[in-house]
Structures are given as C-alpha cells and as structure tokens.
Amino acid sequence: MDIIVLNQKATEKNINHILRKLESKGLKATISRGTEKTVIGVIGDTSRITEEEENAVRVMKGVEDVVRILKPYKLASRDFKAQNTIIKVKGKVIGGKKIPVIAGPCAVENRVIMMNIAEKVKAAGASFIRGGAYKPRTSPYSFQGLGEEGLKHLAEASRKTGLPVVTEIMDPRDMETILQYTDIIQIGARNMQNFRLLLEVGMCNKPVLLKRGLSATIKEWLMAAEYVMSKGNQEVILCERGIRTFETATRNTLDLSAVPVLKQKTHLPVVVDPSHGVGKWDLVAPMAKAAVAVGADGLLIEVHTNPENAMSDGEQSLKPDAFKKLMSELKLIAKAVGREI
Ligand code: PEP
Ligand code: MN
C-alpha cells in the first residue's frame, strides 16, 4: 500500500482519518494535492501491511484507489535480492550458466526399472534423477507409489550413478523419512497451496522444488515460495508445469511466458517441466527446446524404459533414446542463448 489516490469528493476530514490510520501502523505520509486528484504517498516499510489492511483503506471514505508498489512477497522478490539465487546440490548447480536436467520416471515402480532408467538418463547427460515414491493420484484406486521402499531404490540409483535425487513429499508426516533419501524435496502442483506443508519444508535444510499449482497465478505461486522462505529456507526452485486452461489438445497449457515474467519478479531459479505441461511424449521435445530458449534454469523430464506399461504418466514419458536425442539437440539451443546443457 504505497500510494493512496483520493477521489474528488475527499474532504479534509477524510484525509485526516486516513493519515491517522497510517500513523497507527507506524507509517508516515506525504500529500500531493493536484488540480485533478490528491495523492497520499506512504513512507515506511509497507511490506508488512496485509491484504486485509490494504482493503480496509480501499473502502475508506474519499479513497479511489490504492496502488501497492512493494510486492506482497518480500524474500522472493527481486527488489529484495537483485542477484540470482544459485543452488548447489552435491556438485550440481541450479541457477548458473549450465542448465541441469532432472530426469526419471513419474513413479518409482521397482528396483530394476529405477536402476535401469537412472543409468540411461545419466548416460544421456542428466544432472538429477527423479521418481515419485508418494504419488498424488487423482483416483484413490490408482498406483499410489511404493513409499519408503521407493525411496530406497532412488537412493541406490543415486549411489550407482552419482546423481542427486528429487522426489515429492505430500504429507509432513513423511518428512523425516524422505529427508534421509532425497537431495531436493518436490512440492507437487496439487500441494502448492498446502500451507502447512510449505511451512514444514521451510524448516528443513534441503532445497525445495515448488511446482506451480494447477490454476495458480504467478503471484500466488510466489506467495507460496514466500511461505517456504519465511521459515528460513531460502533455497526454493520454481517449476512451471502447465496450468489449466480451456484447451484440451494438451494435458495442460505450458505457460512459458511465466519464465521471463519470473525472471523480472524474482531471484529464484526457474525450472520447466514440459512433460506434465503437454502430457504427450511427442510434444515434450519442442517445448523443452522452447523452455531453454526463453531462459529456463533447468528442465524436468519424465523418462521411462517401457512407457506403454508405466504405472503412471507413460503417455508423456520419453524413451531413453528419445531423451538422449533431445539432450543433444538442446545443446545447440542452450548455446544460442548463452547457456550450456
Ligand atoms: C510429478 O512430478 O510426477 C507430478 C505429480 O507433477 P505435478 O505435481 O506437476 O502434477
Ligand atoms: Mn508424473
């Protein structure tokens, strides 16, 4: 709430009332009386003014509009920290010149499949392995993940390949277990506004990959990042994975404009997940290339050795050969925009 625009009917009494309200919040004001409009500039740290307080001013007599200049998210904003946040995990870097690729199956299905996929993605140049052990499935009758057993397979695949692990948490009660096996904690799209879960991962000492909610605006997404950061964990990686629109030709609509928008608004690294964004394997490569072209700091790509029989998201999973081909094609795009894969 940085600028309060008054309407022509505003009286001196109205203005004094607003000034007293600001004073009660420890804020000062300057008044500029124009021929058309009078404007109050608010001085002081307005970042702690809540949306409710802002709305209370908005409905005060004589007020036409309230323009907020300081963002409602602070720790996540570029105004607060101008330099890009760079996150280092076991020798891998997210937010630097090199664009890391997180690859693996949607779900960890068994040891053999997990080990096999991990070796294949490593050979193709992936920097992280992924796989869900706790799966957020739309149907309670679908495969829900192997739980801790799945985490053990991930950890073994990580030891074998040397690639760090990204896996999803759905419930704060699994935190202790998951932390023993993972290097980055994923918050899935469906939990982007699970505020208790956000606060919980905000208290742990591992980076958080925060996926964009199915119908979340960029502001809501950044507010979710702020929840994590408000508890002390500054290592948040944003992951665009497509949003719900009226379009049905793709599973979601991959909002690649979110990447340059976020680059202006936040210092946090931005990863793009074209797999969930499009939902079809043959659309993944073009969108992955586009993501690199618009400035993504990383990619998340689902890979499966046998997509036809995958227990989840087979239709959007690349076979290892297609993944390998994509990785080599991405090199050229990365080079064109001053990055590396
Ligand atoms: C996933 O990464 O497998 C997943 C469930 O993604 P999202 O939360 O984006 O749907
Ligand atoms: Mn998936």
What does the pLDDT look like over 109-125, one tens digit per residue?
Answer: 999 999 999 999 999 99
Percent of the chain exceeding pLDDT 90 equals: 87
* 204 or 69, higher pLDDT: 204
**240, 254 in Cβ contact below 8 A?**
yes
Q: CA-based Rg of the chain, rounded to a whole angstrom?
A: 23
Domains located in the chain, CATH noted: 3-67 (3.30.70.1140), 87-336 (3.20.20.70)
**pLDDT at residue 72 is higher than 90:** no
Average pLDDT score, the chain: 96
Q: Give residues with Cβ within 8 angstroms of 112, minimum separation 6.
A: none
The residue whose CA has the least distance to atom 1 of ligand 1 is 106
pLDDT tens per residue across span 38-63: 899 988 888 778 888 889 889 999 99
Query: What are the tokens at 31?
Result: 């008044």
pLDDT for the residue 70? 77
**pLDDT at residue 1 is higher than 70:** no
pLDDT for the residue 32? 87
* 102 or 48, higher pLDDT: 102
pLDDT for the residue 35? 79
First to last CA, the chain: 42
Percent of the chain exceeding pLDDT 70 equals: 100
**What is the spatial distance between Cα 43 and Cα 213, in angstroms, rounded to a whole number?**
34
Read off the pLDDT band of 176 (50, 70, 90): very high
Of ligand 1's listed atoms, the one at least distance from the Cα of 132 is 3
What is the three-class DSSP state of 286?
Answer: helix
Mutate to test the pocket of ligand 1, among 142, 168, 221, 278 (most ligand atoms within 8 A of CB): 168
- Give φ, ψ of 3 to 5 degrees: -130, 130
Looking at all shown ligands, the one closest to residue 252's CA atom is: 1
Phi-psi region of 141 (alpha: psi -120 to 50; beta: other; left: phi over 0): alpha
